[in-house]
Structure 1
Amino acid sequence: MTDSSDAPTPLFDTLVVIGPGLIGASVLHRARRDRTIARRLIAVDINPAFRERVRELGIADEVTGDAAAAVADADCVMLCVPVGAMGEVAATVIPAMKPGAILTDTGSTKVAVIEAIRPFLRPDVPYVPAHPMAGTEYSGPDAGFATLFDNRWCLLTPLPDNAPDSVEAITTLWQLCGARTRDMTPEHHDRVCAIVSHLPHLLAFTICGTADDLADETRSEVLEFAASGFRDFTRIAASDPIMWRDIFLSNREAILEMLSRFLEDAQAMARAIRWGDSDYIVDRIERGRSIRRSLLENRQA
């Protein structure tokens, strides 16, 4: 029989996950698996159906709708709510947190989220922003799974006044979840995510909308004969609309900049097709193939 005293000491005694959707539930699954992240797990959600489903899944020791009460004894509080709700939730939980507890989040944009949370910060509650670069098109507690973050990046955007030990703790949390970690500024994060995540989603939603607006006969053929390229767009476009609305609005400047650059490149490709510039077309395709190979080599595809 294994001596329980040989088990590793968890990173935190109590971890509270507010918003056990795809990301939050996946963190809970991972933390529940071997208890290296936290001894005690608390899930918080305002949706009674979600709370009941988390109970049925058995991925938290306690499930509640009372965020303020849940965080009172927490050592770490993770906000996994849509970015548009971060400020409101922070206003509720930060006053109730004990001194020394760490606040973190999983928002897909960082400048706007930090600005929303900053007015409620306390000097004795360090806030370490983070963004796990992992996901699927599914949402809700049932979407979560323990290996979601394996070999994916989690980008941390520490604040200037963050103590090294609080940043180290959140870095370790994500590494225990299976992620690779990197620090960057919030501004740089938002520009990077605008091109690698936000713009692709915007294009997917748009092209599916274009297909849906076609004449009835053509639309039915689109749905019947959809090739793999279009199916890939529909998978992305199946993502949660509220979450992506909030992301687009909170990172509007970076997204609009990247969209403008993309439109210029799309026009250049249109000109190449119109005038039969085969060298330009082949060059663009080869660059795309090269990026794909790089993703495979970097274990991101």
Structure 2
Amino acid sequence: MTPATPVPAVTENAALPPVFDTLVVVGPGLIGSSVLRRAKERGGLARHVIAVDIDPAVCARVAELGIADEVMEDAAQAAAKADCVMLCVPVGAMGPVAASVIPAMKPGAILTEVGSTKVSVIEAIKPFLRPDVPYVPAHPMAGTEFSGPDAGFATLFEDRWCLLTPLEGTPSAAVEAIRTLWERCGARLRDMTPAHHDRVCAIVSHLPHLLAFTICGTADDLADETRSEVLDFAASGFRDFTRIAASDPIMWRDIFLLNREALLEMLARFMEDAQAMARAIRWGDEDYIVDRIERGRKIRKSLIENRQA
């Protein structure tokens, strides 16, 4: 266990009783460290926060940043102290980590996670669930291309959606506790089924990342002279793709593989639309081209109006 340097608190939620006495965040990367910062700087989430990571260097950095009250390498030991355990690890690691923490959790303590896929994560965790440990899956739709404990910030979730996919039979008090936690992080809440969540995220998040990685790979595969010109003269459109493509490769490898059915469905639909646009360009179908551009402009306007841009 590593002692943490305290961070001065900003008492936005100080007058509110904390949602949990002890909150354990396993995986203090971008999402996890942002939750920790929110808890320490704004109050109202937990009286005591513990960060957990198997990497001693990450633990040392979290302690140096002072964004947790305790920093531990053993997830099970930390979970034994928790009223809520939040898993913020890559989706491919959710099952093994859940298997280690659930047996150690106190009866009535809540398990939650922030995975970007839900059907696969729920299936991975279900075999290890206990009837006295409620499980509330969640997915905060917020992020940047950066990772690690230095990447987080307390306002990451402000005005962003957090999607809850509660399972049938989960105690309502547990669902409301997780809902309140994310509301106090500044998020907007929406409930949906796990399968619907995965289809929505496939089109609004997973497919755009797949396209960004692919476009950057195509540019990198060009002849040396052309590639250098691409990098020298990259306009804002290409720069936006490179920002997305800078995201964590292990995290996105797991997301692509674990949401493959929904992602491949959306990719197939996109490829059909791309072929239709290619035909319009080839045959000079100006009306079709303008219609697609106008639809894109409308979507951008809607995002701005919905405070998501």
State the TM-score, normalized to the length of structure 2: 0.95
- 1:1-301 aligned at under 5 Å gives the runs 7-301=15-309
1-structure distance, mates of 2:170, 2:143: 27
Any idea what SS the aligned residue of 2:97 has? helix
**Partner-residue secondary structure (3-state), 1:13:** strand
Secondary structure of the corresponding residue to residue 154 of structure 1: strand
Q: Compute the displacement of 1:62 (Å).
A: 0.3
Structure 1 stretches lacking a partner, 5+ long: 1-5
Q: Distance in 2 between matches of 1:35 and 1:75?
A: 16
CA distance in structure 1 between the aligned counterparts of 2:55 and 2:296, rounded to whole angstroms: 42
- The Cα shift of 1:49 comes to 1.0
Q: Provide the alpha-carbon RMSD of the alignment.
A: 0.7
Amino acid paired to 2:232 = E
Map Cα deviations across residues 134-182 of structure 1 (whole Å, 9 max, x no partner). Answer: 0000000000000000000000000001111110000000000000001
Amino acid at match of 2:151: A
Partners of 1:29 and 1:111 lie apart in 2 by 29
Counterpart Cα distance in 1 of 2:278 and 2:16: 59
In structure 2, C-alpha distance between the alignment counterparts of 1:156 and 1:8, rounded to whole Å? 23
1:33 offset after TM fit, Å? 1.1
Question: What is the Cα deviation at residue 9 of structure 1?
Answer: 1.5
Stretches of 4+ moved more than 4 A in 1? none
In 1, Cα distance between the equivalents of 2:137 and 2:152?
A: 21
Distance across 1 between alignment mates of 2:217 and 2:60:
35
Deviation of the 1:10 alpha carbon: 0.8
CA distance in structure 2 between the partners assigned to 1:116 and 1:161 by the alignment: 18
C-alpha deviations, 1:175-206, integer Å up to 9, x for none?
00000001000000000000000000000000
Matched position secondary structure for 2:222: coil
How far did residue 35 of structure 1 move? 2.2
Q: Partners in 2 of 1:91 and 1:202 — Cα distance?
A: 30
State how far apart, in whole Å, the 1-side matches of 2:207 and 2:245 are.
Answer: 12
Q: How much has 1:34 moved relative to structure 2?
A: 2.8
